[in-house]
Amino acid sequence: MESYETLLDKAYQKVKVVTLSKDRFDIPKVTGQIEGKATIITNFKVIVDYLRRPADQVAKFLQKQLASNGKIDGDRLIFNTKMNSQKVNEKIAMYADEFVICPTCKKPDTEIESDKGIKSKHCLACGARSPLKQF
């Protein structure tokens, strides 16, 4: 039989660490350029890393919401149409509200889990679970 300390060490290794931060959750604003008919978001990887979500998932959401084809090219996201950054920022904030921010405690410390094909948002700060609409 294992000692209490050994079991406790194993438990701490499995627990995901949530940093206690009093800072406000401010998503970086989109920076980019328009080349011909294409809009290039140059800091897409920075935004995705801040949201802690897969780049392809965020890109898919933005393409659907902005009704534009696009592709990920390294650290950039390229849309096949001209659009202003304010519109893209609004859709990224919409994504954060739906898929990142906990509806119970309003913290961004969440992860997406799938159980039997049903996706839910699990908050690491307060433990709340909330169902997600399909994206």
Instruction: Report the run of H or E that residue 5 belongs to, with start and end.
Output: helix 4-14
User: 6-58: per-residue pLDDT in tens?
Assistant: 988 888 887 766 554 545 678 899 998 999 999 999 999 999 999 999 999 99
pLDDT value, residue 22: 46
Please determine, for residue 116, whether its predicted confidence score (pLDDT) is greater than 80. Answer: yes
Q: Which tokens is 113 given?
A: 């889990």
pLDDT value, residue 76: 94
Which of 81, 103, 74 lies closest to 62, judged by CA?
A: 81
Stated pTM of the model: 0.78
Measure the CA–CA gap between 9 and 99, rounded to whole angstroms. Answer: 32
pLDDT value, residue 64: 93
pLDDT value, residue 82: 92
User: 58-114: per-residue pLDDT in tens?
Assistant: 999 999 999 999 999 999 999 999 998 899 999 999 999 999 999 888 888 899 888
Domain 30-100 has CATH 3.40.50.720: no
Q: Where in the chain is the domain with CATH 3.30.70.3150?
A: 30-100
